[in-house]
Protein backbone atom coordinates (compact mmCIF):
# COMPACT_ATOMS: atom_id res chain seq x y z
CA UNK A 1 0.00 0.00 0.00
CA UNK A 2 2.43 2.61 -1.15
CA UNK A 3 1.06 6.10 -0.86
CA UNK A 4 2.36 8.44 -3.51
CA UNK A 5 2.34 11.55 -1.32
CA UNK A 6 2.69 11.30 2.43
CA UNK A 7 1.80 13.71 5.21
CA UNK A 8 5.47 14.46 5.41
CA UNK A 9 5.60 15.65 1.80
CA UNK A 10 2.58 17.85 2.21
CA UNK A 11 3.82 19.32 5.45
CA UNK A 12 7.11 19.99 3.67
CA UNK A 13 5.17 21.68 0.90
CA UNK A 14 3.30 23.88 3.36
CA UNK A 15 6.66 24.87 4.79
CA UNK A 16 7.76 26.11 1.41
CA UNK A 17 4.39 27.80 1.28
CA UNK A 18 4.95 29.82 4.44
CA UNK A 19 8.43 30.84 3.36
CA UNK A 20 7.14 31.82 -0.08
CA UNK A 21 4.28 33.82 1.46
CA UNK A 22 6.76 35.58 3.73
CA UNK A 23 9.05 36.50 0.83
CA UNK A 24 6.10 37.73 -1.23
CA UNK A 25 4.77 39.82 1.62
CA UNK A 26 8.18 41.40 2.24
CA UNK A 27 8.55 42.14 -1.47
CA UNK A 28 5.05 43.60 -1.57
CA UNK A 29 5.77 45.81 1.44
CA UNK A 30 9.09 46.94 0.03
CA UNK A 31 7.46 47.84 -3.27
CA UNK A 32 4.43 49.63 -1.85
CA UNK A 33 5.73 51.52 1.18
CA UNK A 34 8.70 53.83 1.66
CA UNK A 35 10.84 52.96 4.65
CA UNK A 36 9.29 49.50 4.90
CA UNK A 37 12.67 47.88 4.29
CA UNK A 38 14.47 50.67 6.08
CA UNK A 39 16.74 49.72 8.99
CA UNK A 40 14.45 51.33 11.53
CA UNK A 41 11.35 49.38 10.60
CA UNK A 42 13.19 46.09 10.14
CA UNK A 43 15.07 46.29 13.42
CA UNK A 44 12.07 47.48 15.42
CA UNK A 45 10.02 44.70 13.90
CA UNK A 46 12.62 42.09 14.83
CA UNK A 47 13.15 43.48 18.31
CA UNK A 48 9.44 43.25 19.05
CA UNK A 49 8.70 39.94 17.36
CA UNK A 50 11.67 38.20 19.00
CA UNK A 51 9.40 37.65 22.01
CA UNK A 52 6.82 35.85 19.92
CA UNK A 53 9.54 33.89 18.18
CA UNK A 54 10.76 32.56 21.54
CA UNK A 55 7.29 31.62 22.74
CA UNK A 56 6.61 30.02 19.35
CA UNK A 57 9.76 27.92 19.56
CA UNK A 58 8.75 26.43 22.91
CA UNK A 59 5.24 25.87 21.60
CA UNK A 60 6.62 24.06 18.54
CA UNK A 61 8.17 21.33 20.64
CA UNK A 62 5.08 21.01 22.82
CA UNK A 63 2.77 20.71 19.82
CA UNK A 64 5.11 18.18 18.19
CA UNK A 65 4.44 15.85 21.11
CA UNK A 66 0.71 16.24 20.49
CA UNK A 67 0.35 18.56 23.49
CA UNK A 68 -0.43 22.23 23.91
CA UNK A 69 0.71 24.98 26.29
CA UNK A 70 -1.91 27.64 26.88
CA UNK A 71 -0.02 29.19 29.78
CA UNK A 72 2.73 30.89 27.76
CA UNK A 73 1.15 34.36 27.61
CA UNK A 74 0.48 34.49 31.33
CA UNK A 75 3.91 33.02 32.02
CA UNK A 76 5.52 35.79 29.97
CA UNK A 77 3.59 38.34 32.05
CA UNK A 78 4.77 36.63 35.23
CA UNK A 79 8.34 36.55 33.91
CA UNK A 80 8.21 40.26 33.10
CA UNK A 81 6.96 41.14 36.60
CA UNK A 82 9.49 38.93 38.39
CA UNK A 83 12.40 40.22 36.33
CA UNK A 84 11.27 43.82 36.82
CA UNK A 85 11.10 43.28 40.58
CA UNK A 86 14.65 41.93 40.58
CA UNK A 87 16.07 44.34 38.03
CA UNK A 88 17.45 46.65 40.78
CA UNK A 89 19.98 43.91 41.56
CA UNK A 90 21.37 44.06 38.06
CA UNK A 91 21.00 42.56 34.63
CA UNK A 92 21.65 38.93 35.45
CA UNK A 93 19.55 38.62 38.61
CA UNK A 94 16.65 40.10 36.65
CA UNK A 95 17.13 37.84 33.65
CA UNK A 96 17.66 34.68 35.65
CA UNK A 97 14.71 35.34 37.95
CA UNK A 98 12.35 35.90 35.03
CA UNK A 99 13.64 32.81 33.25
CA UNK A 100 13.41 30.76 36.43
CA UNK A 101 9.80 31.83 37.00
CA UNK A 102 8.93 30.60 33.51
CA UNK A 103 10.84 27.38 33.96
CA UNK A 104 9.05 26.74 37.25
CA UNK A 105 5.61 27.01 35.64
CA UNK A 106 6.82 24.78 32.78
CA UNK A 107 7.98 22.12 35.23
CA UNK A 108 4.70 22.37 37.11
CA UNK A 109 2.80 21.85 33.84
CA UNK A 110 4.96 18.86 32.97
CA UNK A 111 4.65 17.34 36.41
CA UNK A 112 0.87 17.44 36.42
CA UNK A 113 0.51 16.31 32.82
CA UNK A 114 2.88 13.38 33.23
CA UNK A 115 2.16 12.25 36.78
CA UNK A 116 -1.58 12.72 36.91
CA UNK A 117 -2.11 12.06 33.21
CA UNK A 118 -4.41 15.04 32.74
CA UNK A 119 -4.92 16.60 29.33
CA UNK A 120 -2.35 19.37 28.62
CA UNK A 121 -5.19 21.62 27.48
CA UNK A 122 -6.80 21.51 30.92
CA UNK A 123 -3.59 21.68 32.92
CA UNK A 124 -2.11 24.65 31.09
CA UNK A 125 -5.45 26.45 31.13
CA UNK A 126 -5.35 26.20 34.92
CA UNK A 127 -1.72 27.27 35.21
CA UNK A 128 -2.46 30.13 32.82
CA UNK A 129 -4.94 31.50 35.35
CA UNK A 130 -2.59 30.78 38.24
CA UNK A 131 0.39 32.46 36.56
CA UNK A 132 -1.71 35.48 35.64
CA UNK A 133 -2.96 35.77 39.21
CA UNK A 134 0.52 35.44 40.63
CA UNK A 135 1.79 38.14 38.28
CA UNK A 136 -1.01 40.49 39.36
CA UNK A 137 -0.38 39.73 43.04
CA UNK A 138 3.36 40.34 42.79
CA UNK A 139 2.81 43.54 40.83
CA UNK A 140 0.02 44.80 43.10
CA UNK A 141 -2.29 45.10 40.12
CA UNK A 142 -0.16 47.61 38.27
CA UNK A 143 2.90 47.63 36.07
CA UNK A 144 6.28 47.43 37.81
CA UNK A 145 8.89 49.89 36.58
CA UNK A 146 12.28 48.32 35.94
CA UNK A 147 15.36 49.82 37.51
CA UNK A 148 17.03 52.52 35.46
CA UNK A 149 20.13 52.30 37.66
CA UNK A 150 21.27 48.96 36.32
CA UNK A 151 21.85 47.89 32.75
CA UNK A 152 18.81 45.57 32.87
CA UNK A 153 17.05 47.24 29.96
CA UNK A 154 19.90 46.34 27.62
CA UNK A 155 18.42 42.89 27.14
CA UNK A 156 15.34 44.43 25.57
CA UNK A 157 16.58 47.67 24.08
CA UNK A 158 20.27 47.12 23.48
CA UNK A 159 22.07 46.17 20.28
CA UNK A 160 24.98 43.86 19.62
CA UNK A 161 26.81 44.31 16.33
CA UNK A 162 24.10 46.77 15.31
CA UNK A 163 21.44 44.09 15.69
CA UNK A 164 18.83 44.00 18.48
CA UNK A 165 19.82 41.78 21.40
CA UNK A 166 16.34 40.17 21.61
CA UNK A 167 16.69 39.14 17.96
CA UNK A 168 20.11 37.65 18.70
CA UNK A 169 18.61 35.64 21.55
CA UNK A 170 15.78 34.37 19.36
CA UNK A 171 18.18 33.51 16.55
CA UNK A 172 20.45 31.56 18.89
CA UNK A 173 17.44 29.77 20.33
CA UNK A 174 16.24 28.75 16.87
CA UNK A 175 19.65 27.43 15.86
CA UNK A 176 19.82 25.41 19.08
CA UNK A 177 16.21 24.28 18.66
CA UNK A 178 16.82 23.15 15.12
CA UNK A 179 19.87 21.13 16.14
CA UNK A 180 17.93 19.69 19.07
CA UNK A 181 15.11 18.58 16.83
CA UNK A 182 17.11 17.19 13.94
CA UNK A 183 20.27 15.90 15.53
CA UNK A 184 19.47 14.60 18.98
CA UNK A 185 17.48 11.66 20.28
CA UNK A 186 15.47 14.15 22.34
CA UNK A 187 14.18 15.79 19.18
CA UNK A 188 13.38 12.56 17.41
CA UNK A 189 11.55 11.15 20.44
CA UNK A 190 9.60 14.43 20.65
CA UNK A 191 8.22 13.73 17.18
CA UNK A 192 7.73 10.03 17.88
CA UNK A 193 5.56 10.85 20.92
CA UNK A 194 3.31 13.02 18.79
CA UNK A 195 3.14 10.31 16.16
CA UNK A 196 2.11 7.57 18.58
CA UNK A 197 2.73 7.97 22.30
CA UNK A 198 1.85 4.40 23.27
CA UNK A 199 4.07 2.93 20.59
CA UNK A 200 6.91 5.20 21.63
CA UNK A 201 6.54 3.96 25.20
CA UNK A 202 6.44 0.36 24.02
CA UNK A 203 9.61 0.98 22.03
CA UNK A 204 11.24 1.64 25.38
CA UNK A 205 11.90 5.31 24.70
CA UNK A 206 11.93 7.89 27.53
CA UNK A 207 8.51 9.41 26.89
CA UNK A 208 8.06 11.08 30.28
CA UNK A 209 11.51 12.60 30.32
CA UNK A 210 11.05 14.14 26.89
CA UNK A 211 7.61 15.48 27.78
CA UNK A 212 9.10 17.03 30.90
CA UNK A 213 11.72 18.60 28.66
CA UNK A 214 9.32 20.15 26.17
CA UNK A 215 7.03 21.74 28.76
CA UNK A 216 10.04 22.99 30.72
CA UNK A 217 11.43 24.49 27.51
CA UNK A 218 8.15 26.15 26.69
CA UNK A 219 7.93 27.68 30.17
CA UNK A 220 11.55 28.80 30.00
CA UNK A 221 11.09 30.37 26.57
CA UNK A 222 7.98 32.22 27.78
CA UNK A 223 9.86 33.39 30.88
CA UNK A 224 12.70 34.80 28.76
CA UNK A 225 10.14 36.45 26.47
CA UNK A 226 8.75 38.08 29.62
CA UNK A 227 12.20 39.36 30.58
CA UNK A 228 12.55 40.94 27.15
CA UNK A 229 9.07 42.40 27.46
CA UNK A 230 9.94 44.09 30.75
CA UNK A 231 13.27 45.39 29.45
CA UNK A 232 11.83 46.58 26.15
CA UNK A 233 8.97 48.57 27.64
CA UNK A 234 10.65 49.52 30.88
CA UNK A 235 8.16 47.79 33.10
CA UNK A 236 6.92 44.40 34.23
CA UNK A 237 3.46 44.04 32.75
CA UNK A 238 1.09 41.75 34.64
CA UNK A 239 -1.72 42.26 32.13
CA UNK A 240 0.38 41.77 28.99
CA UNK A 241 0.57 38.51 27.10
CA UNK A 242 -3.13 38.01 26.52
CA UNK A 243 -3.59 35.95 23.40
CA UNK A 244 0.13 35.23 23.01
CA UNK A 245 -0.61 31.52 23.27
CA UNK A 246 -2.97 31.74 20.32
CA UNK A 247 -0.48 33.75 18.31
CA UNK A 248 2.19 31.16 19.07
CA UNK A 249 -0.06 28.22 18.21
CA UNK A 250 -1.01 29.92 14.95
CA UNK A 251 2.62 30.53 14.07
CA UNK A 252 3.54 26.92 14.81
CA UNK A 253 0.74 25.52 12.69
CA UNK A 254 1.19 27.99 9.85
CA UNK A 255 4.84 26.96 10.00
CA UNK A 256 3.95 23.42 8.98
CA UNK A 257 3.85 21.59 12.29
CA UNK A 258 0.84 19.28 12.57
CA UNK A 259 -1.50 20.44 15.34
CA UNK A 260 -1.92 16.78 16.23
CA UNK A 261 1.84 16.36 16.58
CA UNK A 262 4.27 13.89 15.09
CA UNK A 263 5.47 16.03 12.23
CA UNK A 264 6.96 19.47 12.21
CA UNK A 265 9.88 21.84 11.85
CA UNK A 266 11.52 24.55 13.90
CA UNK A 267 12.77 27.01 11.28
CA UNK A 268 9.40 27.48 9.64
CA UNK A 269 7.80 28.36 12.97
CA UNK A 270 10.06 31.41 12.82
CA UNK A 271 8.75 32.09 9.32
CA UNK A 272 5.22 31.68 10.69
CA UNK A 273 5.90 34.21 13.48
CA UNK A 274 7.37 36.72 11.03
CA UNK A 275 4.50 36.20 8.59
CA UNK A 276 1.82 36.79 11.20
CA UNK A 277 3.77 39.74 12.59
CA UNK A 278 4.13 41.27 9.14
CA UNK A 279 0.37 41.34 8.67
CA UNK A 280 0.19 43.84 11.53
CA UNK A 281 3.19 45.76 10.28
CA UNK A 282 1.77 46.10 6.78
CA UNK A 283 -1.60 47.12 8.15
CA UNK A 284 0.13 49.99 9.94
CA UNK A 285 1.92 51.07 6.79
CA UNK A 286 -1.26 50.85 4.77
CA UNK A 287 -3.03 53.12 7.24
CA UNK A 288 0.00 55.39 7.09
CA UNK A 289 -0.62 55.93 3.38
CA UNK A 290 -3.82 57.57 4.45
CA UNK A 291 -6.07 56.26 1.67
CA UNK A 292 -7.95 53.80 3.78
CA UNK A 293 -8.16 53.33 7.49
CA UNK A 294 -8.22 49.70 8.58
CA UNK A 295 -8.89 48.98 12.20
CA UNK A 296 -6.18 47.05 14.06
CA UNK A 297 -8.80 44.39 14.63
CA UNK A 298 -8.44 43.43 11.00
CA UNK A 299 -5.15 41.80 11.84
CA UNK A 300 -6.96 39.30 14.02
CA UNK A 301 -9.42 38.57 11.25
CA UNK A 302 -6.65 38.02 8.73
CA UNK A 303 -4.57 35.89 11.11
CA UNK A 304 -7.62 33.86 12.01
CA UNK A 305 -8.46 33.24 8.38
CA UNK A 306 -4.88 32.18 7.74
CA UNK A 307 -4.90 29.76 10.65
CA UNK A 308 -8.25 28.29 9.69
CA UNK A 309 -7.02 27.65 6.17
CA UNK A 310 -3.95 25.81 7.38
CA UNK A 311 -5.73 23.81 10.09
CA UNK A 312 -8.50 22.69 7.74
CA UNK A 313 -5.93 21.62 5.17
CA UNK A 314 -3.99 19.68 7.79
CA UNK A 315 -7.09 17.98 9.12
CA UNK A 316 -8.08 16.89 5.63
CA UNK A 317 -4.62 15.57 4.90
CA UNK A 318 -4.20 13.67 8.14
CA UNK A 319 -7.70 12.21 7.83
CA UNK A 320 -6.81 10.93 4.38
CA UNK A 321 -3.51 9.70 5.68
CA UNK A 322 -5.06 7.74 8.54
CA UNK A 323 -7.41 6.13 6.06
CA UNK A 324 -4.62 5.01 3.80
CA UNK A 325 -2.47 3.82 6.70
CA UNK A 326 -2.59 0.04 6.91
Partner 1 sequence: MPDAPPLLAMHGINKQFAGIAALVDAEFAVAEGEVHALVGQNGAGKSTLIKILTGYYRRDSGDVTFAGRPFGAASPLASQRAGISTIYQEINLVGFRSVTENICLGRETYRFGLLDWKRMHEEAAALLARFGIEIDVRRPLQDFSTAAQQMVAIARAIGFAARLVIMDEPTSSLSERETQVLLDVIRRLRADGISVVFVSHKLDELYAVCDRVTIMRDGRTVRVAPMAEISKLDLVATMLGRDIGSVARQGATGFGAKGAGAAETLLAVEALAEAPRVRAVDLSVGKGEIVGLSGLLGSGRTETARMLFGVDAPDSGRITLDGRGFTPRAPHDAITAGVGYCTEDRKAEGIVPEMSVRENLTLALLPALARAGVVDEAAQARIVETFITRLGIRCAGPDQPIRQLSGGNQQKVLLARWLCMNPRLLILDEPTRGIDVGAKAEIQALIRELARDGLGVLMISSEIEEIVEGADRAYVMRDGRTVAALDGDALTEQNVMTAMAQGDV
The helix-helix angle for 207-233 and 72-86 (nearest 10°) equals 50
Residue 263 sits at φ, ψ, to 5 deg, of: -150, 130
Q: Where do contacts with partner 1 occur on this chain (CB under 8 A)? A: 1-3, 6-8, 179, 182-185, 188-189, 191-192, 194-196, 198-206, 262-263, 321, 325-326
Minimum CB distance to partner 1 smaller for 93 or for 206: 206
- Taking the complex as a whole, how short is the minimal distance between the CB of residue 187 and partner 1, in angstroms? 8
Minimum CB distance to partner 1 smaller for 134 or for 200: 200
Q: What is the dihedral of CA 57, 61, 66, 68, to 10 degrees?
A: -50
Distances (CA, A) of 320 to 90, 316, 325: 55, 6, 9
In the chain, beta strands by DSSP E: 144-145, 159-160, 163-164, 235-236
For the four alpha carbons of 229, 243, 295 and 279, in that order, the dihedral sign comes to positive
What is the Cα–Cα distance from 221 to 243, expressed in whole angstroms? 16
Minimum CB distance to partner 1 smaller for 14 or for 232: 14
- Taking the complex as a whole, how short is the minimal distance between the CB of residue 306 and partner 1, in angstroms? 24
- Taking the complex as a whole, how short is the minimal distance between the CB of residue 271 and partner 1, in angstroms? 21
What is the Cα–Cα distance from 291 to 22, expressed in whole angstroms? 24
| Residue 195: partners with Cβ closer than 8 Å, 6 or more residues away | 261, 262, 263
- Taking the complex as a whole, how short is the minimal distance between the CB of residue 178 and partner 1, in angstroms? 11
Minimum CB distance to partner 1 smaller for 166 or for 213: 213
Minimum CB distance to partner 1 smaller for 87 or for 200: 200
- Taking the complex as a whole, how short is the minimal distance between the CB of residue 263 and partner 1, in angstroms? 5
What is the CA angle 177-183-184, rounded to 5?
Answer: 85
What is the Cα–Cα distance from 219 to 232, expressed in whole angstroms? 20
Minimum CB distance to partner 1 smaller for 299 or for 318: 318
For the four alpha carbons of 105, 110, 116 and 117, in that order, the dihedral sign comes to positive
- Taking the complex as a whole, how short is the minimal distance between the CB of residue 249 and partner 1, in angstroms? 20
Minimum CB distance to partner 1 smaller for 7 or for 235: 7
- Taking the complex as a whole, how short is the minimal distance between the CB of residue 3 and partner 1, in angstroms? 5
Ramachandran bin of 35, using left for φ above 0, alpha for ψ from -120 to 50, beta for the remaining angles: left
Amino acid sequence: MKVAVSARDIVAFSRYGVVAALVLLVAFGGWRYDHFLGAYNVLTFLRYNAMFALVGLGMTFVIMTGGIDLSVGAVAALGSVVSALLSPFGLWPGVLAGAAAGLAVGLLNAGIIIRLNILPFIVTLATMLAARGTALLLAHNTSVAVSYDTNFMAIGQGDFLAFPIPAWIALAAYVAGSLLLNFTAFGRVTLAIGGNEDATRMMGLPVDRVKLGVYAMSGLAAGIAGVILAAQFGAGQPIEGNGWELFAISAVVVGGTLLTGGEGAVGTTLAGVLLLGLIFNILNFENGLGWISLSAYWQSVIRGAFLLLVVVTQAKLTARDRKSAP
